[in-house]
A and B are shown apart, each in its own frame.
Chain A
Amino acid sequence: MKKTRYISLALFAAGIVACQLIFTALGTDYLLIQLTMSAYYALVVIGLSLLMGYAGQISLGHAAFFALGGYLTAVFSTNQLQEVVSHEMLTRLSRIGIVYSSDAHDALYRLHPALSLPTVIIVTIIIAIIIGIPILRLKGHYLSMATLGFGIILYRIFLGTKVFGEADGISNVAPFDIPGFFPIGGESSFRVPNYYFAWFLVIIALVLLLNIIDSRVGRALRAIHDSEEAASAMGVDTGRYKLIVFIISALLAAIGGFFMTHYNAGIGPSEAGIMKSVRYVSIVAVGGMANLWGCLIMGVVLNYLSLRGYFGSYDDAVFGALLIAIMVFAPNGIFKKEIFDKIRHFVSRIPCRFSK
């Protein structure tokens, strides 16, 4: 890792701390709620940036992975668990400690938190492999339609299955409560630690991704992005690298969904919808595809604005307009020198026009 990376990361961490201090000092620390949620969405965005920007593979189904993580943990930690596992089985499992009841009177069994996260991770990896191996062989329109199709299939399953709460989704999800650690949930007394936990996850993911980009894998990815045939001819196992990146980005999305569900105490089918997937793609496009920092910043800014309701009833329209505007005027994202040069050039000519 280069020295400048450390500086960027340190600045970023300082920014996170500064936000918290300022909001707390101003007494507006409810704004931290949206920032925490933005952090979880940002996990999806930076994962997708690796997939789209560096490996050049579009995914219009990433919201499905986010929802997968969220829905699985929601089933594990609410009454829905009894829909899939019989009562006798639950009592038996609770004896050996795999599931436990949070309340002696209430017969609410939950999968032990130390098990639910690994389960979600394993399931996500398995699904990413099953889906990824065949569809990553496709290109262009075909790949985008296949990922879109995968996304809609999962959306329909979440929407139509009783275990996943059908159209209502699952609510009353308990906080993610590891003994000896503060609960990851929406309780206002734990708002600040939760905020730091979310951003801690983002920084870990960021360090991981920056290291991947700088490594042999990263070089292989860039070769694939420029020309898959050439990369393949040079001995790069293109299929393997694409799959690895697909799994990593799916995992980041699922983990984001996992903690988001605990933080929000619930999840609904709209989290898996096409519009969500398109939204992630548009954020990555605005952030400049192969630009992790750009994607991260846009992910936080746009999600924060959207969650605070600044876009009103034009929420989806804003993201649609952004997509078109970026692709037509600045296909490399807005954090590019040429854009600033263009603007500078434009601005510097304004006095000339008036002086005539």
Chain B
Amino acid sequence: MSFENVIQYFIAGITTGSIYAIVAIGFNIIYNTTGIINFAQGEFLMLGGMISITLVQFVPLPFAICAAVLITAGAGYLLERTFIRGIKNPTPLRMIIITIGLSILIREAALHIWDEKVRSLPYFTGNEITSIAIFGAHFSPQVLWVLGTSALIVVFLNFFFSYTTTGKSMRACASNRIAAALCGIDITKMVSLSFVLSAAIGALAGCVISPITQTQYDCGTSLAIKGFTAAIFGGMGSSTGAIAGGLIIGIIEAASISIIPLAYKDAITLTVLLGILIFRPGGLFANGDASSKVDRP
């Protein structure tokens, strides 16, 4: 394999990988405040992509994306308000089944609203054939948009969780719910906020990746599973882990294409997932007691 090819695969890998990282962070935000794995996480990306594709016919691209993010965030709030908040006894099994049900409903709704055609947003700069060359490898400027947006999301979230009162309250909620409630933090509000936030970043990621991978009503599932793999890879709940996990999964996937048939691409990622779940359920960077992670409801 030539050097150019390696660069090419690497760039393709970190591009999709950064999206997986955003999905993984979305998982983490909700998991940290509620202990729920939201199986409908991938659907937020699909919704973001689809809504912006519809809106871009009427308004300029930046407005379409902003509107798509806001609408999806609203949808995230509605989901939490309608289906999650009322559950009095949230056992993991129940929450898994409910969020799976939600993801199916969103997907089917999207199928009936937008049919099964594959769509995509226009390229943010240039078009399909514009390319930038680095070390002899050619890639679309959209790659820079994806990487830049992902980096921006990470920086923003980092700032939000470290320096704002709301962000700190959410972290308090994550580390000890009862203590946080005793300190006067409104837990219900934080849970809502976590759904809104993860829907919003999901939608944004769905918009920027749309020109490259295209958007279809059922594209959420595979993104969600890859994102979950990334989250598990880095250790559930850890943001840095999620980024590293996402990038590694992306690169493994891109590299696997050069060795095995494209048809088995998903199978490789999932084998990685099974391997991690079986051997290191606390994540690749976990130190010590991984079983406590497994036991967490």
- Chain A: residues with CB nearer than 8 A to chain B? 52, 56, 58, 60, 134-135, 137-142, 144-146, 148-150, 152-153, 156-157, 159-161, 166, 274-275, 278, 281-282, 285, 313-314, 316-317, 319-324, 327-328, 331
Contact B225 A321 (CB under 8 A): no
Q: A58 — which chain B residues lie within 8 A by C-beta? A: 93, 96
Contact A149 B98 (CB under 8 A): no
Residue of A138, A157, A275, A331 touching B281 (CB-CB under 8 A):
A138
Q: How many residues of B contact A (CB 8 A)?
A: 41
With known contacts A149-B274, A317-B108, A328-B87, A156–B232 Cβ distance under 8 A:
no
B89, B98, B100 interface centre (most CB from chain A within 10 Å): B100
Residue of B98, B109, B266, B277 touching A156 (CB-CB under 8 A):
B266
Contact A134 B278 (CB under 8 A): yes
With known contacts A135-B278, A317-B104, A317-B105, A324–B83 Cβ distance under 8 A:
yes
- Chain B: residues with CB nearer than 8 A to chain A? 37, 83, 86-87, 89, 92-94, 96-98, 100-105, 107-109, 112, 221, 225, 228, 232, 261, 263-264, 266-267, 270-271, 273-274, 277-278, 281, 294-297
A selection of 12 A-B contacts at a CB cut-off of 8 Å is A141-B92, A142-B277, A156-B266, A156-B270, A157-B264, A282-B101, A317-B108, A320-B104, A320-B105, A320-B108, A324-B83, A327-B87
Additional A-B contacts beyond A138-B277, A157-B264 (20; CB < 8 A): A52-B93, A56-B93, A135-B278, A138-B281, A140-B294, A142-B294, A145-B228, A146-B274, A149-B225, A149-B273, A149-B277, A150-B270, A152-B266, A156-B263, A156-B270, A285-B97, A314-B108, A324-B101, A327-B87, A328-B98
Q: B86 — which chain A residues lie within 8 A by C-beta? A: 328
- The chain B residue sitting closest to A151, CB to CB, is B270
> In the complex, A142 Cα to B102 Cα: how many Å?
19
Contact A146 B297 (CB under 8 A): no
Nearest chain B CB to A318's CB is how many angstroms away? 9
- The chain A residue sitting closest to B100, CB to CB, is A278
> In the complex, A160 Cα to B103 Cα: how many Å?
26
- The chain A residue sitting closest to B103, CB to CB, is A320
Q: B221 — which chain A residues lie within 8 A by C-beta? A: 274
Nearest chain B CB to A277's CB is how many angstroms away? 10
Contact A153 B270 (CB under 8 A): yes
Q: A152 — which chain B residues lie within 8 A by C-beta? A: 225, 266-267, 270
Contact B225 A144 (CB under 8 A): no
Q: A161 — which chain B residues lie within 8 A by C-beta? A: 263
